[in-house]
Amino acid sequence: MSVKYFTNGNIMDVVNEKIYKGSIVVENGIITQVGEDVACPEGAEVIDFGGKTVSPGIFNCHTHICMSANPSDPRPTSDAQIAIQAIKACKEFVQSGVTFIRDVGGSNYVDIDIRDAARKGDFVAPEMVVSGKCICMTGGHGWSMGREADGVDDCRKAAREQLRAGADCIKVMATGGVFTKGVEPGSQQLNEDELRAAIEEGHKAGAKSCTHAQGMSGIKAALRAGIDSIEHGFYMDDWCFEWMKEHGTTFVPTLTAVYYTKFSEAGIPEFARKKVDAAYEDHLNTFRGAYKAGVNIALGTDAGTPNNYPNQTGFEMVLMEKAGMTKWDAIKAGTINSAKLVGVEKTHGTIEAGKKANFTVYTANPIEDMNNVMDCCMTVIGGEVVYKK
Ligand SMILES: [Zn+2]
């Protein structure tokens, strides 16, 4: 049995919003003791946090490991190139403190192979759940990498195909988006009955569903169809917030993606910039409305879209705070709220006995300055120190 003693940390208790000086005992990757007066078990390997701030491992619940964020990278022409890109993304996530990702829109099922290899320990990676191909209407947002499906039966089949390939979750496209030319973020794409068919197939297999949804009619259709999370969500009203609270639907605003599309230079096509400019303020207002209403908000960045690198995951918390969230609530979005969205809140998301030893260690305390989440000095996954600055 492997016994480790992580000591001299300022440990974040995200539930009670406090930080205390303490130690953590980890046996075979699981926390068995944590607190201010926890002694070192005999023979344990000692790891010193050096007085740094220890957060529960952070999540990124909206990633695209198969896509390069570097606009000057050529589009991959083989699965090997996609896999190399994905492994690079995994490494970058780990080096910036990300211990768990939910990848929502892979390419040619490479995401599923990557997940399986990562679980075997073939390379350094966060824990992950993946969606396989996104399900979209013919010519709809994401069609070039997705599974085009039209009509209820075909959407049902498309979802079953993703499950057969090994997907953990189902991604459906309820509206147009920013980076597909000629489709509008505000317009609905898959119909409510099509969405329902795909979502139902996922639920039957225990797989949650998420939807790219920016315009209000598509968002409402997805909510009525039983979706588990709204991604991006540019335009939502009180009806949406009430529904989400009542049904436990999560909002993943991906403020980072919108930020980089609006404010970065390289590789942003004019049509994408125009679409984001039109929605920018409304999106922030929707975020504030959802927060005020008490909707579960989780962290996702859409990493893989232009200039939006895996190592910018913490930036989502910075933007959330800028938009009006408290620092603690931003940390919760990245930890316990995200664990709930993925369905792993019993084993992840807080630093408590019985939970997996996933830690993100910050050089300085993010409750003093939110920007400190951008400086991770150690990442621990399952009790293993997988990154140390
Ligand atoms: Zn996305």
pLDDT value, residue 216: 94
Distance from C-alpha of 384 to C-alpha of 226, rounded to nearest angstrom: 38
pLDDT in the model for residue 185 = 80
The domain tally of the chain equals 2
Ligand 1 centre to CA of 46 (Å) is 40
CA-closest candidate to residue 233, choices 208, 221, 215, 245? 215
CA of 86 to the centre of ligand 1 (A): 15
Whether residue 260 sits in one domain with residue 363: no
Same domain, yes or no, for 367 and 335? no
Contact 257, 308 (CB under 8 A): yes
Whether residues 29 and 107 fall in one domain: no
Q: What CATH number has the domain bearing residue 32? A: 2.30.40.10
Cβ distance 113 to 139 under 8 Å?
no
What's the per-residue H, E or C state across 318-370? HHHHHCCCCHHHHHHHHCHHHHHHHCCCCCCCCCCCCCECCEEEECCCCCCCH
Return the CATH number at 200: 3.20.20.140
For residues 81 and 208, membership in a common domain is answered with yes
* Residues 255 and 130 both lie in one domain: yes
Instruction: Identify the pLDDT of residue 186.
Output: 83
383 alpha carbon – ligand 1 mean position (Å): 30
Going from the Cα of 116 to the center of ligand 1, the distance in angstroms, rounded, reads 21
Total residues belonging to the chain: 389
The pair of structure tokens assigned to 189 is 């794409």
Residues 30 and 162 in one domain: no
Identify whether residues 50 and 62 lie together within a single domain: no
- pLDDT tens-place string over residues 57-80: 999 999 999 999 999 999 899 999
* pLDDT under 70: residue ranges of the chain: none
> Ligand 1 mean position to 376 CA, how many Å?
24
Q: What is the per-residue pLDDT for 179?
A: 80
Q: Which residues contact 375 (CB under 8 A, 6 or more apart)?
A: 362, 363, 364
* 312 C-beta neighbours (distance < 10 Å), count: 22
Distance 313 CA to ligand 1 centre (A): 14
Q: Are residues 188 and 315 in the same domain?
A: yes
Q: What is the pLDDT of residue 4?
A: 98
Please give the distance, rounded to the nearest whole angstrom, from the Cα atom of residue 242 to the centre of ligand 1: 25
pTM for the model stands at: 0.97
Query: How many Å lie between the centroid of ligand 1 and the Cα of residue 145?
Result: 12
Do 67 and 20 sit in the same domain of this protein? no
Cα(300) to centroid(ligand 1), Å = 9
Q: How far is the CA of 93 from the centre of ligand 1 (A)?
A: 16
The pocket of ion ligand 1, defined by CB under 5 A, consists of: 302
Residues 127 and 178 grouped into a single domain = yes
Both 23 and 172 in a single domain?
A: no
Residue 32 domain boundaries = 3-56+347-388
- 25-63 per-position pLDDT tens digit: 999 999 999 999 999 999 999 999 999 999 999 999 999
Query: Are residues 84 and 229 part of one domain?
Result: yes
Give me the long-range contacts of 350-355 (CB less than 8 A, separation at least 24): 350/13, 350/14, 350/15, 350/56, 351/11, 351/12, 351/13, 351/24, 351/31, 351/34, 351/54, 351/56, 352/31, 352/34, 353/31, 353/32, 353/33, 353/34, 354/30, 354/31, 354/32, 355/30, 355/31
DSSP secondary structure letters along 278-309: HHHHHHHHHHHHHHHHT-EE-----BTBTT--
User: 35 - beta bridge partners?
Assistant: 23
